[in-house]
Amino acid sequence: MVPIVPLTGPLRAAALALNNRHAVETAPLDEAGLAALIAQAFYAAAVGEEVEAFLIALDETADYASPNFRWFKARYPRFVYIDRVITAPQARGRGHARRLYAALFAKAVAAGHTLAACEVNVDPPNPASDRLHAALGFVEVGRARLQPAGKTVRYLTRAIEPSAAARQERAQGVSWDAGAAPARPVATGDGAER
């Protein structure tokens, strides 16, 4: 099983390149933008040193100008916001995004969070993200048309609580090493990716 590792210095260039190859589905970033996101991230991790996938999440304390983040901040007093989760095309179907989410949920529960939030494009469509988030139990709570980007997004949330996070961890073969440095999940279990 490819390990989940903190999204630190040497991995940032690969994460930036992967992000910008999928800017239509997410949003483009430059080095400074990625560094700013990671600096205030609640959780920032990658799958493997080759960055087969990565996830960056913020919590409600972040100072982030994204209209999507601000939509959630105006409506929810406490949450973890998934700003982006991207899997390289050659690594899809290996369970990387689910493992990243399982580790995020475990850390969020440990910090007392009970809600995860994100948005998924409706226009242009992002069917892979729709499938992932539906499978993870996210539900639509709103929509917005973003200008000048010209995108329409669906706002999604999912309740997270200790028992659900623990079940998902076990199912994904990932647990959170609370004594480790931030953003350091540890692989456990049978090594199978689901």
**CATH number of the domain to which 28 belongs:** 3.40.630.30
Q: What is the pLDDT of residues 158-176, one digit of tens each?
A: 999 876 555 655 565 554 3
Task: Give the residue-averaged pLDDT of 11-15.
Answer: 96
For 102, the token pair is: 């399982």
pTM exceeding 0.95: no
Q: Structural domain of residue 166, as residue ranges?
A: 4-177
Task: Name the nearest CA neighbour of 107 among 40, 27, 179.
Answer: 179
Position of tokens 């899997």?
87
Residue 101 in domain: yes
Residue 46 in domain: yes
Contact (CB, 8 A) for 49 and 31: no
Q: In terms of pLDDT, which residue wins out, 182 or 82?
A: 82
Residue 191 in domain: no
pLDDT > 50? residue 188: no
Q: If DSSP codes are grouped into helix, strand and coil, which group holds residue 88?
A: coil
pLDDT > 50? residue 152: yes
How many domains does the chain divide into? 1
Task: Give the residue-averaged pLDDT of 183-188.
Answer: 32
For 112, the token pair is: 């007392």
Position of tokens 């982006």?
84
Contact (CB, 8 A) for 138 and 118: yes
